[in-house]
Amino acid sequence: MMADNKEAIKGGEFLIRETEAKDIFIPEEFSEEQKMMAQATQDFVEHEVKPLVERLEKGEYDLGATLLKKAGDLGLLGISIPEEYGGLGMNFNTSILIADVLGAAGSFSTTYGAHTGIGTLPILYYGTEEQKQKYVTKLATGEYVGCYCLTEPDAGSDANSGKSKAVLSSDKSHYVLNGQKMWISNAGYADLMIVFAKIDDDKRLSAFIVERAWDGITMNDEEVKLGIKGSSTRQVFFNDVKIPAENLLSTRENGFKIAVNILNIGRIKLGAGGIGGMKETINLSTQYAKERKQFKQPIANFGAIKYKLATMATKTFVTETLSYRAGQDIDDKTDALVAGGMEKNEAKLKGIAQFAIECSISKVHGSEVLAYIVDEGVQIYGGMGFSEDAPMARAYRDARITKIYEGTNEINRILIVDMLIKRAMKGQLDLMGPAWAVQKELTSVPDFASIDNTVLFAKEKLVIKNLKKAALMVSGGAVKKLEAKLGDEQEILMNVADMLIEIYAAESTLLRVEKLVGMKGEEACAGQIDMAKINLHHAVNIVNNAGKEALFAFSDGDEMRVMLLGLKRFTKIDPWNLKEARRRVANILIENGGYAF
C-alpha cells in the first residue's frame, strides 16, 4: 500500500508531514478474500449470535464459550495467527476488519475480543515455541478459552502497583502464586489465564500462563454490570497456585512491557470494534424514523432527525477511516521490518509500538463516537428508546464500557501527548523545528497564497495544514512554558490530545474521500464529500475551543494575545451550508434504509 511512498510515515508524524491520498489504505481496497471473511463473520453474527442474545443477557454465560468454539470452527479466532499454530495467517488490518463486523454482536464482541486479543496474543508474541505449540494452537480453534488477569482492586490504570506475588521455589522448578484479580472477562469459562504478578521483591511485573484446572484458583460470582451483561466477568483468586517454571511468559519483570504492547493492540481493535455497532444503530434508527409517524408524517422528514442521522453516519465514516489507515500503517511497518531481517513476531510488536499514538487515537475516537451514536439512537426512538423491549437500551448500556477498558479515555488522551513529546525528546520526531517555524510565523505577515479551486479539497487541505500549525503552536508553547511540570497539567494534555485526534481524523477522512473519488468519480462520492467537509468544520471548532482552553491555562499577557491571534488565524474555514449538507447525507440513509457508505 505504501510502495510509491518515498519514505514510510512514522507514528505521530502525521502532525508534521503532509500525507498524500495514494499513501493511505481505505476500506474500499480490501481484497476479495478479506471481504469474504467479513461476510462469513456477518453471517455468523446474524445466524449464531443474535438468536442467543436474550439468553446471554439473562445469564447463560456458558453460551459465550459455545459461540467461541463455533467461531473457532470458522477460523474467526485465528485471523492473524500463523498457520503453523492453527490460524489463517492474515494481516493485522484483517483482524481489525473482523473486530469491526463483530461490533454488532453485543456482549459477545467483548467475549471475542478478550479471547482473541489479550487472552491469546501475549503467548503468540512473547511465548516460547513450546508455549505456542501447547497453547496457541488450542486458543486458535476455541478448544481453550483465554482470559487476561491484570487489574486488581487497588491497581487499575496504575497496573504496576498490583500486589499479586509469585515466589520462586527453592529448587526453581515452580512459582507459588497468591493474589486477587478483578473485572476479568471470560473468567467464568476460561481454560487459560495470562496472569500478571511480581516475583519475590521485584519492582516490575512478570507474566505467567496459568491453567484454570490447577489447584488453588477460585472465583466470585458473576459481576452484575451496567452493560455487556452477556459476557462473563468475575473476580479471580489465586491461593498458593503452583505454576511450572516453564510457564513464565517472556523474561522476569517483562510483564509491564507485555501489558502495554498488548493493550496497544486492544486499543485500535476496540476503536474499530465499535463500528459494527455504530452501523447497526444507524440502520435501526433510520428504519424506525421512516416508520414512526408524528404530525401525520414520518419523523425521518424532520430536519432535527436528519441532523442526527447525518451526524451519526459522518462520525462512523470517520472512525472507520482513521482505524484502517492506522491498521495498514502497522502492517506496512511490520512488513518492512520483516523484509529487513527481523523475526515476524518481533516485527509485529515493533510495528504496533511505532503507531501506539494512532492506536490510542482510534480507541478514544471510536469509543466516544459509539457512545454518541447509541445516545442519539435512544433519542430517535423516543420513549421506545428507553424501553428494554426495543434494541436501543441494550446498545446504550453496552457502549458505556468502551470508554473505560483498554485504558480509560483520559489515560489514552494523556498517553497520546506524552508519547509524542517523548519521541521528540529522543530525536525520533522533529517537532521542535516545525513548532519553532510556527512561532516565527505568528509575528510575520500572513501568506495569502492562491488556491486552485478546481482541485478537489485544495482549500480543505490548507485548513488541515493550518490546524496542524495550531496544535504545534499550543503544544510547543506549553512545553516551553511548563517544561517538566507539563506532565502534572492533565487538563492541558487532554486539550492538546483533542486537537491531535481531530486533526488525524479530519486528514484521514479527506484523504480517503480523495482516493475514493479517484476510483469512482465525484458524482458517485457526493455523500462522502459532504461528510468529509462536515467533519472538517467540526474539527475546526474542536481545535479552536481546545486550543483556547489550553492557552488560557498556561499563558498570559502579550504571549497569550499573540497566540490567540495565531489560533484564530489557524482555525479559519470558509462558510458552508452545513444544514443542507447534512440533509443530503441523511436523505441517502433514508433512501437506502440505513448506512450506505
CATH code assigned at 183: 2.40.110.10
Residues 278, 400 within the same domain: yes
Spatial distance between the Cα atoms of 133 and 86, rounded to a whole number of angstroms: 9
Radius of gyration (C-alpha) of the chain in whole angstroms: 24
Residues 88, 199 within the same domain: no
Residues 48, 162 within the same domain: no
CA distances from 389 to 99, 149, 383 (A): 27, 35, 11
Check which CATH number belongs to the domain holding 581 and give it. 1.20.140.10
Give the domain range for residue 520.
429-592
- Report yes or no on 295 lying in a domain: yes
Distance, C-alpha 52 to centroid of its chain:
27
pLDDT in tens, the chain (597 residues): 333 445 789 999 999 999 999 999 999 999 999 999 999 999 999 999 999 999 999 999 999 999 999 999 999 999 999 999 999 999 999 999 999 999 999 999 999 999 999 999 999 999 999 999 999 999 999 999 999 999 999 887 888 888 999 999 999 999 999 999 999 999 999 999 999 999 999 999 999 999 999 999 999 999 999 999 999 999 999 999 999 999 999 999 999 999 989 988 999 999 999 999 999 999 999 999 999 999 999 999 999 999 999 999 999 999 999 999 999 999 999 999 999 999 999 999 999 999 999 999 999 999 999 999 999 999 999 999 999 999 999 999 999 999 998 899 999 999 999 999 999 999 999 998 999 999 889 887 776 667 777 788 999 999 999 999 999 999 999 999 999 899 999 999 999 999 999 999 999 999 999 999 999 999 999 999 999 999 999 999 999 999 999 999 999 999 999 999 999 999 999 999 999 999 999 999 999 999 999
- Report yes or no on 545 lying in a domain: yes
DSSP track, 378-429: HHHHGGGGGSTTSTHHHHHHHHGGGGTSSS-HHHHHHHHHHHHHHHHHTTSS
Domain boundary pick from 411, 437, 460: 411
Q: Which DSSP category does 171 fall into?
A: T
What amino acid occupies position 567?
L
What HEC string does 185-209 produce? ECCCCCCEEEEEEEECCCCCCEEEE
Q: Helices 409-425 and 356-381, interaxial angle, to 10°?
A: 150
Residues 401, 451 within the same domain: no
Residues 476, 572 within the same domain: yes
Domain boundary pick from 127, 144, 161: 144
Closest to 288 measured CA to CA, from 594, 72, 541, 543: 594
- Report yes or no on 172 lying in a domain: yes
pTM value? Answer: 0.95
Check which CATH number belongs to the domain holding 135 and give it. 1.10.540.10
Active-site annotation holds for 491: no
Residues 188, 244 within the same domain: yes
Residues 479, 529 within the same domain: yes
Spatial distance between the Cα atoms of 142 and 115, rounded to a whole number of angstroms: 9
- Report yes or no on 380 lying in a domain: yes
- Report yes or no on 14 lying in a domain: no
- Report yes or no on 11 lying in a domain: no
Residues 42, 189 within the same domain: no
Cell numbers representing residue 273 in the block: 470494534
C-alpha angle with apex 230: 99 to 259, nearest 5 degrees?
Answer: 50
Question: At which residue does the C-alpha cell 482513521 appear?
Answer: 322
Cell numbers representing residue 175 in the block: 512459582
Closest to 151 measured CA to CA, from 411, 388, 391, 427: 411
Please, what is the end-to-end C-alpha distance for the chain in angstroms?
Answer: 22
Closest to 64 measured CA to CA, from 146, 175, 136: 146
Number of structural domains the chain divides into: 4
- Report yes or no on 86 lying in a domain: yes
Residues 381, 320 within the same domain: yes
Domain boundary pick from 116, 144, 172: 144
Residues 434, 558 within the same domain: yes
Residues 115, 166 within the same domain: no
- Report yes or no on 423 lying in a domain: no
Which of 406, 460, 502, 507 is an active site residue?
A: 406
Residues 436, 585 within the same domain: yes
